[in-house]
Amino acid sequence: MKFHKEGYASLLLVLVFSAILIFIAHYFFPTFAIAHWFAYLLSAFLTIVIVQFFRDPTREHKKGDNLIIAPADGKVVVIEETEEAEYFKGKRLQVSIFMSPINVHINRYPISGDVSFFKYHPGKFLAAWEPKSSTDNERTTVVVKHKNGTEILFRQIAGALARRIVWYCKEGDKAEQCGQMGFIKFGSRVDLFLPVGTKLDVKIGDVVKGSQSVLGEI
């Protein structure tokens, strides 16, 4: 297991905070053992939280030319036909994956192809499970066009805790199935918009793993 590059700044901040906290405990309360233990335990807790959140586990990626692979770890919270108004401007099958703070937060391409559209939207920070978070929250919109002509749109959506979305793609890039396309910090959601009639292999409530779980076929 590796530590993801997006976590270096957060880890450094926690380590600096921990060093200051431990210094204060020893300098101002030299004989107060409880203060020392509190500083050590809080520092250890914060460090563990950061390390587990930004973990990058080694995985055997599930790949298949006609498979749609989960772009993130989490729970499937939405499967429904909806109107996608930004790019397709028509009916699509929406599949939403909610990522809790304990999930791996790396985002991956669900299919291989060409990045035919990309846009970043600043916005609010509603709870990620709120329906309006899909259109009102800070988010990115990415469309990948498969070699058979099928296009899949997916969005990184910030949540109430997620205050930074990171992406590694732009229009014209080649998308490699299961390759990293971004990261969302501290709780979030990913929406996929698939052609109506797409055969799905998941249902609401299923827990999926990014780059390993098959969502359906195109």
| Residue 198 in domain | yes
Structure-model confidence comparison of residues 84 and 137, the more confident one: 84
Per the domain annotation, does 87 fall within a domain? yes
* More confident call, 165 vs 45: 45
Domain assignment of residue 62, yes or no: no
Query: Do 42 and 124 sit in the same domain of this protein?
Result: no
pLDDT of 131 above 80: no
Are 114 and 196 in the same domain?
yes
Claim to verify: residue 47 and residue 84 sit in the same structural domain: no
Find the domain containing 44 and state its range. Answer: 2-56
The predicted model gives 198-210 an average pLDDT of 96
Same domain, 91 and 140: yes
96 and 24 belong to one structural domain? no
Least confident of 6-20, 67-81, 175-189, 193-207: 175-189
pTM beyond 0.85: the answer is yes
Tell me the average pLDDT across 99-126. 90
Catalytic residue among 10, 43, 188, 213: 188
- Say yes or no: 112 and 73 in one domain: yes
Is 103 found in the same domain as 154? yes
The yes-or-no verdict on residue 187 having pLDDT over 90 is: no
The domain that holds 105 is classified in CATH as: 2.70.70
Query: What tens digit of pLDDT does each residue of 11-70 get?
Result: 999 999 999 999 999 999 998 999 999 999 999 999 999 999 999 999 989 999 999 999
Question: Is residue 80 situated within a structural domain?
Answer: yes
Say yes or no: 51 and 96 in one domain.
Answer: no
Mean pLDDT of the chain: 91
- Give the pLDDT confidence score for residue 133 in this predicted structure: 57
Q: Report whether pLDDT(124) > 90.
A: no
Q: Does residue 152 have a pLDDT over 80?
A: yes
Q: Are residues 42 and 73 in the same domain?
A: no
User: Which among 33, 56, 79 is the end of a domain?
Assistant: 56
Q: Is 185:6 a contact under the CB 8 Å cutoff?
A: yes
Same domain, yes or no: 101 and 199: yes
The number of folded domains in the chain is: 2
Is the per-residue pLDDT at 127 higher than 90? Answer: no
Q: What is the pLDDT of residue 158?
A: 84
pLDDT, position 136: 72
Segment 130-147 mean pLDDT: 81
pLDDT value for 137:
78
Asked if residue 164 is part of any domain, the answer here is yes
User: What pLDDT does residue 159 have?
Assistant: 72
- The answer on 13 and 95 residing in a single domain is no
Q: For residue 74, is it within any domain?
A: yes
Residue 148 lies in a domain: yes
188 is catalytic: yes
Same domain flag for 129 and 168: yes
Please indicate, yes or no, if residue 119 is contained in any of the structural domains.
Answer: yes
Question: Mean per-residue pLDDT for 137-151?
Answer: 94
pLDDT tens track for 77-108: 999 999 999 999 999 999 999 998 889 999 99
